[in-house]
Structure 1
């Protein structure tokens, strides 16, 4: 069947993102250059194209047809890249998901997406294989022996050399799905077209990074996440650059060692990683790194300053979303303002609106709406939600922001806003005060029910290990009382060993809301 959202006009021009972005490198001087780099093994662009054809041909051999979805649940590995590009070339729709999901999670995704195939590895097999058997979906297992009926090995399905003719897709056909993080409810699939992949390299990669074939990318954000997918898969391919492929967990100390062995030129990360790295006493960055990019959550001013002062490189913060595919705003090497997500990239427009969709005054808070060439085709099976997300070709992001002199300042998610005594309160304002205390490494503020039926604010903080004070909650209460309105001072302050986060590094506030308070 035809991919959902495709253009049914007579004889539209054919376009396939794999043949454009990946196979553009099959020219003299680039085909033999490295694309995927693992410790001990490098794959050239020519080798990746051959492996991509084998993967796409193998998936079609399972009985899949144009427009069918393929769940890809592996760690960051070369087979992820082969499956991604191969599926798109074959006219299939890859659906990257996290490898650490439960069997129930995978079953929901299989059912919701109506996927007709799946790819997993040892990290996800215990969840994916039972779910695919239950759903009668063929599953290809990478890097392991078959465990149970219904699983096939990568070598027998996708590992044999094969030629693959590109499917007759158009730029308006759907190329991939990305499920949202699901921090506030069930995940929903954002559908992206081939033309979105074509347009994305013209934004951050070209305007801010100036990515080129001599670059080597290392992204701590994983490939299943919209940010990591761009960092490690299609943006480097569009530029002919190389990518360090790392399937291990993101532990700052381990990644620091990898950085110094692999010597990348570009480092992509999230604030939680940069915070952990900057706190390692012996950590150093190789002099090969020319630029550091941050996204996923707002980069706090104090973290920006600590990282810059420690390593001599300013982390360039920017804003994007699953629905926008990648960055829509960014700081630039010669236009950096700490605490800001930068200015809209060329080709994108941004405006800040109130609940009635009226423009707010300069510096006032409101919801960010964007317009640009990569905003999604819609949510799968959620037409009402898609309609609420768009007004014409303007897309609401759900982000609470301010715009000052063209720069955006993120204040959190509208989902996170709480109403206290008839007044809306942004947790980010309180968290900024808490992070300003030398004893706080991380902070999160949520509402909780203290039994009175009235919502109250509760602050959760991770203690700075080197702080030697005695009563951190008492000090934080005094600090908040000095700097915040009385109704914004949390009722209780909880010191925790860590804050719960999604696999993409985003804070899971709903987990904190469910935790009982232990202090008055």
Structure 2
């Protein structure tokens, strides 16, 4: 009788049988209906034959460790290509449960007293840290699953100087491009800064997943090296043998070296006091971030030192980063989120960065969480799929004793974010100290360095449920009244998805940055209206390297196109989709056209009848790559062979397998009348399982196709016609109302009569344009003649008219002195008793403000917009102190009034009005407490706080975002 305690891997045949069974089960889960279990052998290729991508192979390793009670080395994920490779790894592994133990525990460092606010380049930044606290640990690099090695600022600088000297001896100088194709390791950081110190330009590219892929990997990346005109490539030893092949593809490439070879070059020794050649300038390119697309012409985003420092400073300000934080990351350092967000952000703020290889995480997701526990991490970031892995691939036994209470920011970005994943992660790990408020969905892109929008306050993730049909028909986000969903209530989420769409709040623009949503004509849309997202700010790239045509396409005036669609609510960004059919898979952008073209050339596939698209995987929450192709083949064996060919083609072309290959009969793939593939319609058929629906008569299909194609065009036309119709109508109404109102105000002798006419005109405009005006807090307006000041936020040209219509009071408006030069404005406003003040002449401005004090005793309230001017982007700016000084001098109460909706109707620098609704919130009066400078500040702060809370907009104090 066989010993029941005998380990299953002690018998090779039994181990092989068990492993093949495990592999088959996983392959059938990943690609249901596309796997012939009878053909799976120990020598089947996991990628090409079985369609197992990196995440699926990570799952395979986890199941193998559980089934065989072993711990496999981290590199196993990168080395296995067949079940036989995995079987060999099993026999070489130790038999014990995987344990997570780090040689470095809680990180406790002295707080940095100052920050490098004055530095202008990355070179200056590192040198500043060396001078301030050179021996302070900067990096904690996991050498393997357990061992951590720390690197101080001084060590990083000294090692980088060595690399810089060696590079200079190889002829590398200012402006040359040097590619780095290394995994996460100490040498990566030394090489990157060594290139910077030689004033060359680093070009990070991701290393091959497995040694056998190096040739294909380098050939695919030769386009990047060609575009960058790379002079030298620093890479792994295995790539050296292909140097001749690569040089044929990249004429500019002179050297392919390993880090060991660079260090062994004979060069005069240098000291830590060595100075790099020349000094980099803020507007010089710091490095090139190539977009992660797998097909087409690569685009190298030019990021200057000024761009990068602006971005890390803005992100640090948004999240309150300090040297007391600890950042824990497994993100690859060749990707902007890991390179800029994790490394540069930590470097700037003197934050210790604990970093491990992505393989460490993928093979054992719990290592990420335990690293946060051991090092008391406060900051971390990852794409959505990582949180999904933690929910589904970590057992409760693996979490015993875990404490995540130190985490204060856990950013989720770089790919579509699932509300289901957010809910599941927060629910699962709340019992281990994770605060739901720590989960922060964010948005960024390489063209804005990395970060663009962040939540600007601590809160739970914001999910708005909007009506699905309204959103699809009009592009307008109309909220559905629902009870809040508590963490873990998955059934409620699924039930809502049938009639509503969840939109996830991605925060507000970083300080100093702006976003806007525009329609197909390039005009800015009001809030809650879907359109194309554009941005600008100091982090914005100046374009793509050696790609003037692509750079031209990127810009829309002085705004940059993102290629994403979205909308805003109270100035916060919500994404709704993509302008182009880009697929995000494994952190890379995939353009479907090239794969569609290649699949169309295969025998058995109907040419031009292939659709490649992304579909959300309901189990993982990530996007899966789907190939839908028409074929006349009916034999199942032939169809299986064709699926294998498509898998192999996808792997060779993109470097990753497809998730689903769906073969369908002729006339299944929907097309437009001009013959273009309708990928969105294909996606709908796939997700609704209607690919095998019986085919209708040709005339019926043609009719349906015409109607379905016409509907989006009709919706777009209706939106455009409605927008133009309303804009023209509103201007017509204003054109009809303005002359008689102005004439009457100009000729009437009584100020009260003038106010009655002006009030009638403003209310008529609101009523005739169908604008809903809702007023809250009228009871807070005084009903006697005691004087007071009115303070309001300034969002639109319409604000004065709204105050006229809403309050019923005769105000003493305060306007800018430039309006006195306009006869029509001066005449109209002057008859209403408006006071004009100078904004730019300091001495005159003080004099004007002093004169205002004499008018404050009137029963007609002195009414000011303390922001000083209006802004196109949502948000409340600093309040000037003049109005509050008057209130203190006269000991008068201040009446805060909040205006909402006027900005969306008529935005600054726009003459294209939009239909919308307006709210006016009249808050209780605030009385001065004291008569000194501190009382002035306190009154200003109290009034501003009330308006900020009522507006629901972000706090943009000390920003100028016109």
Structure 2: state its 5+ residue gaps.
1-117, 142-146, 209-213, 464-503, 583-591, 593-612, 631-665, 672-680, 694-706, 710-962
What per-residue deviation string (whole Å, max 9, x for no partner) do you get for residues 285-304 of structure 1? Answer: 54343321111013211111
Q: Aligned partners of 1:129 and 1:276: how far apart in 2?
A: 40
User: Contact 1:390 / 1:396 at 8 angstroms: preserved in 2?
Assistant: yes
1:58-207 correspondence to structure 2 within 5 Å: 58-100=166-208, 102-122=217-237, 130-132=245-247, 135=251, 136-142=253-259, 152-156=261-265, 161-162=270-271, 163-183=274-294, 185-207=296-318
What per-residue deviation string (whole Å, max 9, x for no partner) do you get for residues 19-48 of structure 1? Answer: 3322221244x2211111123421111111
User: Contact 2:139 / 2:151 at 8 angstroms: preserved in 1?
Assistant: yes
1:37 aligns with 2:140: yes
User: What's the offset of the Cα at 1:63?
Assistant: 0.5
Q: Aligned partners of 2:556 and 2:623: how far apart in 1?
A: 35
175 and 82 in structure 1: CA distance in 2 versus 1, 3 angstrom threshold: same
373 and 96 in structure 1: CA distance in 2 versus 1, 3 angstrom threshold: same
Give the match's secondary structure for 1:398: strand
Indicate the larger mover: 100-109 or 313-322.
100-109
Greater helix percent: which structure?
2
Give the match's secondary structure for 2:257: strand
What per-residue deviation string (whole Å, max 9, x for no partner) do you get for residues 185-240 of structure 1? Answer: 332111111211221222222311x2222322222321111111113321111011
User: Contact 1:446 / 1:457 at 8 angstroms: preserved in 2?
Assistant: no
Q: Aligned partners of 1:165 and 1:96: how far apart in 2?
A: 21
194 and 443 in structure 1: CA distance in 2 versus 1, 3 angstrom threshold: closer
Q: Aligned partners of 1:199 and 1:157: how far apart in 2?
A: 39
25 and 272 in structure 1: CA distance in 2 versus 1, 3 angstrom threshold: same
Aligned to 1:337: 462
Q: 1:19 aligns with which of 123, 134, 147?
A: 123
Give the match's secondary structure for 2:366: helix
User: Contact 2:517 / 2:534 at 8 angstroms: preserved in 1?
Assistant: yes
Aligned to 2:46: none
Give the match's secondary structure for 2:441: strand
Indicate the larger mover: 452-461 or 354-363.
452-461
Aligned to 1:268: 381
User: Contact 2:554 / 2:561 at 8 angstroms: preserved in 1?
Assistant: yes
61 and 232 in structure 1: CA distance in 2 versus 1, 3 angstrom threshold: farther
239 and 166 in structure 1: CA distance in 2 versus 1, 3 angstrom threshold: farther
User: Contact 1:295 / 1:320 at 8 angstroms: preserved in 2?
Assistant: yes
What per-residue deviation string (whole Å, max 9, x for no partner) do you get for residues 374-419 of structure 1? Answer: 111211222122112113331111011121221111122211289x
Q: Aligned partners of 1:123 and 1:401: how far apart in 2?
A: 44
Q: 1:370 aligns with which of 535, 543, 547?
A: 535
User: Contact 2:164 / 2:194 at 8 angstroms: preserved in 1?
Assistant: yes
User: What's the offset of the Cα at 1:361?
Assistant: 3.2
Aligned to 2:435: 313
What per-residue deviation string (whole Å, max 9, x for no partner) do you get for residues 403-441 of structure 1? Answer: 1221111122211289xxxxxxxx99x85xx74xxx675
- Max radius of gyration: which structure? 2
42 and 332 in structure 1: CA distance in 2 versus 1, 3 angstrom threshold: same
Aligned to 1:402: 567
User: What's the offset of the Cα at 1:362?
Assistant: 2.0
User: What's the offset of the Cα at 1:114?
Assistant: 0.8
Give the match's secondary structure for 1:79: helix
160 and 296 in structure 1: CA distance in 2 versus 1, 3 angstrom threshold: farther
Aligned to 2:576: 411
User: Contact 2:315 / 2:451 at 8 angstroms: preserved in 1?
Assistant: yes
Q: Aligned partners of 2:450 and 2:462: how far apart in 1?
A: 21
Give the match's secondary structure for 2:580: helix
Aligned residues: 432
User: What's the offset of the Cα at 1:81?
Assistant: 1.4
User: What's the offset of the Cα at 1:155?
Assistant: 4.0
Give the match's secondary structure for 1:378: coil
Q: Aligned partners of 2:240 and 2:427: how far apart in 1?
A: 43
User: Contact 1:307 / 1:313 at 8 angstroms: preserved in 2?
Assistant: no
Give the match's secondary structure for 1:308: helix
User: Contact 1:331 / 1:337 at 8 angstroms: preserved in 2?
Assistant: no
User: Contact 1:446 / 1:459 at 8 angstroms: preserved in 2?
Assistant: no
Indicate the larger mover: 253-262 or 296-305.
253-262
What per-residue deviation string (whole Å, max 9, x for no partner) do you get for residues 21-78 of structure 1? Answer: 22221244x2211111123421111111111211222211110121000001111122
User: Contact 2:123 / 2:280 at 8 angstroms: preserved in 1?
Assistant: no
Q: What's the TM-score, normalizing by structure 2?
A: 0.42
Q: What's the TM-score, normalizing by structure 1?
A: 0.75
Aligned to 2:395: 281
Aligned to 1:243: 353
User: What's the offset of the Cα at 1:351?
Assistant: 0.2
124 and 360 in structure 1: CA distance in 2 versus 1, 3 angstrom threshold: farther
180 and 221 in structure 1: CA distance in 2 versus 1, 3 angstrom threshold: same
460 and 180 in structure 1: CA distance in 2 versus 1, 3 angstrom threshold: farther
User: What's the offset of the Cα at 1:167?
Assistant: 2.7
Greater strand percent: which structure?
1
Q: 2:670 aligns with which of 444, 451, 454?
A: 454
Indicate the larger mover: 264-273 or 366-375.
264-273
User: Contact 1:217 / 1:241 at 8 angstroms: preserved in 2?
Assistant: yes
Q: Aligned partners of 1:157 and 1:322: how far apart in 2?
A: 38
Aligned to 1:503: none
